[in-house]
Amino acid sequence: MKKIFILLFSVCSWQLHAIDYHVDNNPPFQNIGDVPWATIGEGDRVFIHWRQTPYKEKWVINAVGTEQNPIQVIGVNGPQGQQPIIDGNGATTVPGVNFWNEPRGLIKIGGSNIPDNEIPQHIIIENLDIRSARPPYSFTNDNNQTEFYSNNAASLFVEVGQHITFRNNTIQDSGNGIFVAASDGDTQDILIQGNYIHSNGNDGRIFEHNTYTAAIGIVYEGNRFGALRAGAGGNNLKDRSAGLVVRYNWIEDGNRQLDLVDAEDSSVLVNHPSYPTTHVYGNVLMESEGQGNSQILHYGGDSGTLADYRKGDLYFYNNTIISTRTGNTTLMRLSTNDETAHVFNNVFFGTANGSSLALIDGTGSVNLQHNWFKTGWQDCHCIPSGTINDLGNNLTGTDAMFNNFATQDFNPLSGSDLVNGGMDPLILLTAEYVVDKQYLKHQATQSRPTPDTIDIGAYEYCGTLSCDLIFADGFE
């Protein structure tokens, strides 16, 4: 009986202490700064309601939730579905907190004196429009002084954190849309899910990107990536993580769509068991005319310290790659011959002649099977020093027979070579990496039909009956 009493007391105690804060036009929380950010804790939820004028406030979250009772910051839509806007241009740091690296971000996770937790955990930020943290914009810091954002400022900046989720946000008009720092391995388990990330980067610079991340264990899922700001030369998704998974995303344009390189400043990540294994599957990757580098994906490293390069296995499968360039397009650059790509069940289609499409940039090892390429495709627009191992069942043609190319509906038509052209996942892949979803325009996923033989590409053909059974994933 005593044990039952203790359990009930514990549950009731949590219920009494978890608090919901509603920031709107009414007291007591008319501003984001009215929330006591220095003392929020397990189970607390901050609801930020839409209003006509953006919230021009910036702050740090450095608190510890739990898996069952995370700390949540939730945007509440306006009457026409408008997300609340957090605008960094002219923002003021909220009172009651003290943190460093203020010019680096609009909403920051971790790294503060007040509050002073070493590693914030189990934090969810969702359904906000977070924008405008970049030069030449300025803000008022916690000492009431005006500062300018740094070039590498981000809408969302994780200095350190574990079990962090960014979901269903709009991220735009910052140096980096999202920046996640490795903090020498202390940053772990990051989920970036269902966001619309676009129009970030700085004019004339190549060092800032729509996202720039490094962590142990990071998953990108169901996001829509648009082009960077006009004049910005950065990549769309740049990552230096250990245990990276990029699945079921729509990634359009950028200098490269994917730049997956070495953990240049963290020996902990380089030596982590998950570092040499990367999974990229179920994505739509699109390359438009005039988008800088003609390579879709770069895997390996860029620091020049070859010992730190990934030198492992890239599993690249069930992706739909589209190029509308009039010139050459290359699917992937593998940095050295120590990088291996397992490429299967992908469709690689370009509107230019098939000879304009190449598989690799020169180096690396590629195991190739059950893909669809446009007739005339090349191993390389060069004499490669790497190795391409054709393991069979690769198809070619002039038309992949998408449902409607003009409207970017890349589902295969009945009779397309993509239908039933794929293969089962490699035996090396665990059930965690089986393709069981597909991207749903926009910022969602849906269950993927499961026929006896999987289709090539990011989408599975569904007949009249099976289409009715497909359901969307609300990311809960």
Do residues 260 and 402 both lie within one domain? yes
Question: Does residue 167 lie within any of the structural domains?
Answer: no
Q: What is the mean pLDDT of residues 25-48?
A: 96
Do residues 350 and 468 both lie within one domain? yes
pLDDT at 38 over 80: yes
The pLDDT of residue 16: 45
The pLDDT of residue 58: 98
Q: What is the dihedral of CA 349, 353, 358, 361, to 10 degrees?
A: -120
Instruction: Give the pLDDT confidence of 102-116 residue by residue, as tens digits.
Output: 999 999 999 999 999
Place of tokens 């003009």: 406
In which element (H, E) is residue 467 found? helix 464-469
C-alpha dist (Å) from residue 57 to 95, 135, 394 = 10, 17, 54
β-sheet bridge partners, residue 239: 213, 260
Do residues 284 and 220 both lie within one domain? yes
pLDDT at 48 over 90: yes
Do residues 204 and 140 both lie within one domain? no
> Where residue 3 falls among pLDDT bands split at 50, 70, 90?
very low
Contact 394, 368 (CB under 8 A): yes
Contact 315, 279 (CB under 8 A): yes
Do residues 207 and 74 both lie within one domain? no
Instruction: Give the pLDDT confidence of 288-324 residue by residue, as tens digits.
Output: 998 889 999 999 999 999 999 999 999 999 999 999 9
Domain count for the chain, please give it: 2
pLDDT at 142 over 60: yes
Q: What is the β-pairing status of strands 444-447 and 437-440?
A: antiparallel
Instruction: Give the pLDDT confidence of 201-221 residue by residue, as tens digits.
Output: 999 999 999 999 999 999 999
The pLDDT of residue 5: 34
Sign of torsion, CA 321 217 194 119? negative
Q: What is the mean pLDDT of the chain?
A: 94
Q: What is the mean pLDDT of residues 219-231?
A: 97
Compute CA 5 distance to the chain's CA centroid, rounded to the nearest angstrom. Answer: 45
Do residues 55 and 99 both lie within one domain? yes
Do residues 78 and 200 both lie within one domain? no
β-sheet bridge partners, residue 91: 139
Domain that holds residue 352: 182-476
Do residues 267 and 380 both lie within one domain? yes
Do residues 290 and 334 both lie within one domain? yes
What share of the chain in percent tops pLDDT 90? 89
Instruction: Cite the beta strand spans of 28-104 per DSSP E.
Output: 45-49, 57-61, 71-76, 85-87, 91-93, 98-99
Do residues 110 and 245 both lie within one domain? no
pLDDT at 137 over 90: yes
Q: What is the mean pLDDT of residues 6-33?
A: 73
Residues 137, 88: Cα–Cα separation, whole Å: 8
Q: What is the dihedral of CA 107, 108, 113, 118, to 10 degrees?
A: 140
Do residues 348 and 442 both lie within one domain? yes
pLDDT at 403 over 70: yes
Residues 154, 160: Cα–Cα separation, whole Å: 14
Instruction: Give the pLDDT confidence of 234-288 residue by residue, as tens digits.
Output: 999 999 999 999 999 999 999 999 999 999 989 999 999 999 999 999 999 999 9
> Where residue 469 falls among pLDDT bands split at 50, 70, 90?
low
Place of tokens 């690689």: 348
In 3D space, the residue among 258, 283, 248 whose CA is nearest the CA of residue 334 turns out to be 258
Which of 110, 136, 152 is the last residue in one of the domains? 152
pLDDT at 8 over 90: no
Instruction: Give the pLDDT confidence of 406-458 residue by residue, as tens digits.
Output: 999 999 999 999 999 999 888 778 888 999 999 999 999 999 998 889 999 99
Do residues 220 and 92 both lie within one domain? no
